[in-house]
Every structure is written in C-alpha cells, then in structure tokens.
C-alpha cells in the first residue's frame, strides 16, 4: 500500500446526448465489479460497472431537469413479505437521462455517503483494473460468457468487502492521478 496520504480525484461524466453533466470526487476509480443482476442488465446492458464517489462532492453541472430515477419493484422474495410483492420499491435508485436513456449513476438509501457513477458515462479517463469481479451471476443471461482467467472472480451474489476495501487491499485507494 502507498505510504502517501490518499487523495481523491475529480471525475466528470455525461449522458450520450450531453444534456446531463456531473462531477464527483472519488478515492476508488477502478471499475472492477461487473453486475449481472436483471435490473442492471435490462437497464444498462451486459458488463455494466459502477465506480464509487463521495456523495458530498457530487454536482450536477447541467441538465438536472433531464434526470429521472428508476426503482425496481421488489418481489416477495426480495422484500421478505408476500403482501409487499410488487408494492415496495428498492432503495437502490438508478438515475438516467430522460432524453437519451443513458444510465448515469446509482444511489442507495443505506449508503448515503456514496454515489455510484456508471463507469461507461465517465468522461475522465479511468484506470484499468488487473482484476474483475462478476457479481450476481445467478441472474446472468444464458447467452453471456464470463471470461476465464486468474484475474476473473465470480460471485452468485455480492462478494465479501466493499469497493473501498477492495481498493485499499490492492494499494489503489486514493492513488490515481489524472494527467492534465
């Protein structure tokens, strides 16, 4: 792990039509966790990945009026109560552009200090990871093949540890700098 003090990097993102633009500071810019859950696959496509930003630094620079939120209706299995089937909304909020439908970021009520920008909408060059986690593979589409290799790990649901812990374990927390 680096002996220097971790420093955040400001990343900027936008939707495809450029109506929505935002920025956020992150200590954890390595996109390494690829989600195969049904909601992410249907709304954002295969091999979608988020990074993690500091919510207190998040700024919508333009296009707030185009930002819409999608929340999955939880099934009885997900909510744990049969009577709530299709009535309780997930606390995981997917934000997207209402004009071009670009998935922009996610926010989860249980983690109010974080925001999760979708890696493909980030305009700032992101670092390449040497390791990838494919998560929620119980929901993976049959026609999708997960690459095989020593640096590819699969999880039927979520792995142990957070995005922050992964970056710290690999000595990458707050170490990325952007070339100007």
Please state, in angstroms and rounded to a whole number, the distance separating the CA atoms of residues 56 and 113: 7
**Is 178 part of a structural domain of the chain?**
no
Domains identified in the chain, total number: 1
Closest CA to 153 of 171, 174, 129: 129
- 94-142 pLDDT, tens digit per residue, is 999 999 999 999 999 999 999 999 999 999 999 999 999 999 999 999 9
Q: What percent of the chain has pLDDT over 90?
A: 79
**Is 161 part of a structural domain of the chain?**
yes
Enclosing domain of residue 79: 9-169
Closest CA to 52 of 160, 145, 174, 153: 174
**Is 4 part of a structural domain of the chain?**
no
**Is 176 part of a structural domain of the chain?**
no
**Is 99 part of a structural domain of the chain?**
yes
Q: 28-53 burial by CB neighbour count: b if 16+ within 10 A, else e?
A: bbbbbbbbbbebbbebbeebbbbbbb
Do β-strands 48-49 and 33-35 pair in parallel, antiparallel, or remain unpaired? Answer: antiparallel
Q: Is 0.75 topped by the overall pTM?
A: yes
- 68-87 pLDDT, tens digit per residue, is 999 998 875 544 444 545 56
**Is 177 part of a structural domain of the chain?**
no
**Is 20 part of a structural domain of the chain?**
yes
At 180 the pLDDT is 67
Token pair of 34, please?
Answer: 């690829």
> What CATH number should be reported for the domain holding residue 118?
2.170.150.70
Cβ distance 46 to 141 under 8 Å? Answer: yes
């Amino acid at each position: 792990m680096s002996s220097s003090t971790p420093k955040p990097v400001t990343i900027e993102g936008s939707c495809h039509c450029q109506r929505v633009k935002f920025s956020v500071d992150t200590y954890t810019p390595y996109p390494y966790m690829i989600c195969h859950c049904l909601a992410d696959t249907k709304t954002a496509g295969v091999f979608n990945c988020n990074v993690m930003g500091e919510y207190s630094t998040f700024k919508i620079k333009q296009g707030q009026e185009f930002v819409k939120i999608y929340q999955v209706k939880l099934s009885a299995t997900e909510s744990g109560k049969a009577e709530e089937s299709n009535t309780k909304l997930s606390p995981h909020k997917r934000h997207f552009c209402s004009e071009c439908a670009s998935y922009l970021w996610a926010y989860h009520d249980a983690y109010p200090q974080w925001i999760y920008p979708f890696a493909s909408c980030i305009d700032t060059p992101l670092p390449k990871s040497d390791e990838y986690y494919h998560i929620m593979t119980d929901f993976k589409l049959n026609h999708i093949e997960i690459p095989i290799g020593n640096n590819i790990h699969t999880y039927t649901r979520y792995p142990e540890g957070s995005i922050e812990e992964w970056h710290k374990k690999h000595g990458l927390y707050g170490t990325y700098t952007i070339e100007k």
